Structure 1
């Protein structure tokens, strides 16, 4: 599904640009609204994740061939090697900073390091964002993977397009109301303080959306005009909501429409803008982009501040211009040298353990 891959890369770069601008403007007053609302990109990732995994695993689930253990091993191989690498790199940066007398603001302790290593730092076990802070969403993904049989069983009980759409909105509304009641925050604002809850309605919506595609041929047969109108409508609605300072949660429904339009376009055989090599490359390294950009920001800006090169807004802006390029270089390196080899290594170890477990007693 090339459109989904490319858009994932564009979304990752969007996050990098937003975090870079926020770092440049730190201490300069309130951030521009488009930067603040960029947090909804993460919820787009969550919907996309549910959709893609339902696309991959719904057939074995319905046929009774789904094995949760095997699924978790594959997802662990996808997430953990790069996550652990970037966590250790950030650990080294924090250690060097402390040796130089710089104490981080957030709780960078041995306990929070272990919670991060276990990918459980979106479950209220960590008091705040620490270490490689964007990885809270990776923890949320892992929590969704742990619970995917529950998501699939719940999806089995919802039949028909209308009921599925109602279920999407009802689950999101229920989680949103609970977030406001329990934490006083929009659901789409939760990170270490409840990211595992935040992903639930988006991941479930992605699964239901994939099943709607099976029942609604018109989604696959979407015309170019309807596709263009859907994309324009999503961005138009989001722009209006941002302009009127709407709650963050109000921008969640357009994310569903965006994934639906992109998934429909992905079924076409005709070439398109989102099928270019550069955008597909961005999609391939998007996970590395997402996990390395905080390290790039930390190293560049902290080093510049130590050297006295980030005192004015102009200096910080000039430094910020280099962040996307350095991030892309670092992401390509980590993708080729850490992410892909790490994935293969985990799978190889898992397969070796499985063969050993199946070996007859006494066999050499």
Structure 2
């Protein structure tokens, strides 16, 4: 038996396992939502589908980990610029978000013309809050417009507050304290959600998604810092790595079988991110370094933001033409959803997401140069 030799976990290095898993998780969300739509009005959702909501919390932990991986160095060296950070994150999120929001607006208008009444509240106020990515903080009455984008809003609110997250992480030293704070903060937020909102924390969306993200995002940051202090995490053998991954899914399966609260599945997400990040330090190839899975990870944002629109169009269209009346017919439509979503996401990634990001940064740079030129001219006139 050969043992893989870990490489040094350097800041900013590529984390292929995390990229691939992000794509797999996005597809899992698509399948769960498709299955839920198929069963709507016919059967109750299976527990495995209901508990799939914790995948979003996995995304939140992953986001905190990756951003700490990228920006902890500049932060500690005093080179972190919040304004520049926000511009780059806005370039990453906003173009595709606005495009999908515009698509839903067009569908809502078209639906009203043909007499299809949407279930959610689609008004100017909720549209504005959604466009500003603030719709995960009790600013809309329901999951209006492109409903998966509530998590994009939660991420954006975290970006606005990231200096507070990083400063808070600075005050916590040592692995035990970091793990204790992560679990304690989640427990406090979970209890608060139950007491004040009568809801599990990991079920919050428009009605507190920003609060839902808080412990996960900070836990991801703290977890990345634990890697700096714990070389043993990088010495994980292939056997231990496999046992940890299997153990995470086995633990989740047991919790689901026991009908545990949704929040009970949150701690295994930390372990899963830690194991995947540890595997990223190995030089040898692995299953999650498959080019197709890496490609899927690159498409994950487009997959996530477009799949609700695909579901809306396919099922509403089928119902309008009388095809989705029986469970069998709805199943046929449901099977089409992931394939159509993948095709749509390839297109939106190529013509909206990537060009939108580059175009946004180009506009920002042009404005910055113009402003610098105006200042230079003004300075010359004063002289």
Indicate the TM-score class for this superposition, using the shorter chain for normalisation.
over 0.9
C-alpha distance in 2 between matches for 1:246 and 1:46: 21
* Matched ranges for 1:235-246 at <5 A: 235-246=249-260
Q: Report Cα offsets for 1:160-182 as digits up to 9, x if no partner.
A: 00000000001101111111111
C-alpha distance in 2 between matches for 1:241 and 1:178: 22
**Unaligned segments of structure 1, at least 5 residues:** none
Aligned to 1:247: 261
Give 1:356 shift: 2.4
SS at match of 1:123: coil
Give 1:105 shift: 1.4
Find the partner of 1:306 among 320, 345, 348. 320
Matched, 1:196 2:210: yes
Aligned to 2:340: 326
Matched, 1:290 2:304: yes
Aligned to 1:135: 149
Matched, 1:23 2:42: no
TM-score normalised per structure 1 = 0.99
* Matched ranges for 1:60-75 at <5 A: 60-75=74-89
C-alpha distance in 2 between matches for 1:30 and 1:309: 21
* Matched ranges for 1:324-363 at <5 A: 324-359=338-373, 360-362=375-377
Give 1:289 shift: 0.2
SS at match of 2:137: coil
TM-score normalised per structure 2 = 0.94
Give 1:221 shift: 1.4
C-alpha distance in 1 between matches for 2:51 and 2:240: 26
Give 1:349 shift: 1.2
Give 1:61 shift: 0.2
C-alpha distance in 2 between matches for 1:156 and 1:226: 30
Matched, 1:56 2:70: yes
C-alpha distance in 1 between matches for 2:65 and 2:308: 27
Give 1:319 shift: 1.1
Aligned to 2:281: 267
Find the partner of 1:150 among 161, 164, 174. 164
Q: Report Cα offsets for 1:243-299 as digits up to 9, x if no partner.
A: 111000000000000000000001100000001111011000000000000000000
C-alpha distance in 1 between matches for 2:223 and 2:164: 17
Runs of 4+ in 1 over 6 A off after TM superposition: none
Find the partner of 1:214 among 225, 228, 231. 228
**Unaligned segments of structure 2, at least 5 residues:** 1-14
C-alpha distance in 2 between matches for 1:182 and 1:136: 20
C-alpha distance in 2 between matches for 1:105 and 1:323: 20
Find the partner of 2:272 among 248, 258, 271. 258
